[in-house]
Amino acid sequence: MKNILPSPLQFKKNKLTFDGVLLESIAQKLPTPFYLYSQKTLDSYFKSFTQSAKAHKINNPLVCYAVKANSNIEVLKRLKDLGSGADVVSVGELKKAIKAGIPPEKIVFSGVAKTKDEILFALKCGKSGIYSFNVESIEELILINDLAKSIKKKARVAFRLNPQVHAKTHKHISTGNKTHKFGLLKADIQEAVAVTEFWTHTNLVGLSVHIGSQLTDMKATVSAIKELANLALDINLPIEFLDVGGGLGIDYTHKERSKLASIDYYMQTVSMALEQFYFSKSSILIKPRIVFEPGRILVGKMGVLVSRVVRTKTSDNCHFTIIDAGMNDLIRPALYEAHHEVLPATKSAKLITTDIVGPICETADCFGTKRKLPSLTSGDLVVIDNAGAYGRTMASNYNERSLAAEIFFR
């Protein structure tokens, strides 16, 4: 499964270019660090995703982009133009998705801690509220029912199943087991379906599952779909959709590239699993549509973090390249020991071994140890690759630093 995912970065005559334009010229008048996103790359991932769903005969697919991955308004507007819906986890994300023009009837609301105010806001969106509240506890279902009653509406809800499968990914981003706070166990959902007072002002319109992020191996995805299908078959009610979540990973490292499931392989897997475990067995006449909640796969590769070298430093035999981007701008290496390639704006045959570190007063503020880079000096540009997902959205003001600007390159 060799899978070279398109990237906006390319070296031309040893100079780094972004969408074919010299990075040095893009960065000339911009204060660093800043995030740079490629519309062209975003388009190509969204189109690959939807075209592949079509090619694998996924039933009436709805892509609800996971806003948490990148909530830049231009990115959201572009995704809306491409036909995307949204998966949101807070009223802030919901408002931003609506501001970008994404219709409420294409928005699902996930998350374990939806508050009264958030639920009321979502119920009042558009003509008939959002597409679905993906419910993660019975307490939440009762609250949604009560709030819908109080404003004389009916809420559209789906249960998020906790399928008890182990996704092979970093423990911080694995969500499909009962030790995780996410979703409901099958037995609890089956029980709730039968309690009539939970359903006076709610309609069960779907079932969902999401087992984790940066998934490269599809085995757990198949198991999760099997569990979702079994639940749908047991409940045996006409539902409008099955939501298979997000999670498809990208290649941050060369090693990941060789074992990564491509978009096409993912769609084929999902399609076959749905057919085998659900469509071939269900007696319900109207087929549910399939909802996806991709985040990283759509935006991860389109973005980079552009930074400049502040200075270099040696400490005995350790060499540090100190850059002006820090863990407050991109926390993934510090939080998940995630690998991001660091590229110089100008390639050189002569390389040194160096640790690329930021300005924050934490030893974890390190983008990579023992990397091979040219010997850089103050003011030189570097780029941290594959930073379009969970980069700027997880940034903070730690150390009283400003949030990095975002440039949407068209």
User: 186 vs 340, which CB is nearer to ligand LLP?
Assistant: 340
Per CB under 6 A, the segment of 123-131, 136-144, 292-300, 304-312 that binds ligand LLP is: 292-300
Work out how close the CB of 15 gets to ligand LLP at its nearest, in angstroms, rounded to a whole number: 30
Count of residues binding ligand LLP (CB under 6 A)?
23
User: Which residues 6+ apart lie within 8 Å of 139 measured at CB?
Assistant: none
Residue 295 tokens read as 């985040």
Residue 224 pairs with which residues in a beta bridge? none
What distance in Å separates the CA atoms of residue 238 and residue 114, rounded to the nearest whole number?
26
Q: Tell me the HSE value of 78 on the side-chain side, using a 13 A CA sphere.
A: 23
Residue 48 tokens read as 């690959």
Query: How many CB atoms are closer than 10 A to CB 353?
Result: 12
What distance in Å separates the CA atoms of residue 330 and residue 339, rounded to the nearest whole number?
11
User: 206 vs 245, which CB is nearer to ligand LLP?
Assistant: 245
**Which listed residue (240, 251, 293, 329) binds ligand LLP by CB under 6 A?**
293
As a whole number of Å, the CA-based R_g of the chain is 22
Instruction: Decide: 104 and 125 in contact? Cβ < 8 Å.
Output: yes
Site for ligand LLP in 63-102 (CB under 6 A): 66, 68-69, 87
User: 299 vs 309, which CB is nearer to ligand LLP?
Assistant: 299
Work out how close the CB of 169 gets to ligand LLP at its nearest, in angstroms, rounded to a whole number: 8
Instruction: Decide: 295 and 46 in contact? Cβ < 8 Å.
Output: no
**Residue 173 in contact with ligand LLP, rule: CB under 6 A:** yes
What distance in Å separates the CA atoms of residue 340 and residue 335, rounded to the nearest whole number?
13
Per CB under 6 A, the segment of 1-9, 62-70, 143-151, 261-269 that binds ligand LLP is: 62-70
**Which listed residue (96, 210, 392, 401) binds ligand LLP by CB under 6 A?**
210
For residue 168, give the H/E element and its range.
Answer: none
**Residue 34 in contact with ligand LLP, rule: CB under 6 A:** no
The one-letter code for the residue type at 381 is L
Q: Which of 64, 125, 318, 361 is catalytic?
A: 361
Per CB under 6 A, the segment of 9-17, 245-253, 283-291, 344-352 that binds ligand LLP is: 245-253
Residue 318 catalytic?
A: no
Site for ligand LLP in 372-391 (CB under 6 A): 389-390
Give the interface with ligand LLP as residue ranges (CB under 6 A): 66, 68-69, 87, 110, 173, 210, 213-214, 245-248, 293-297, 332, 336, 389-390, 394
Active site residues: 361
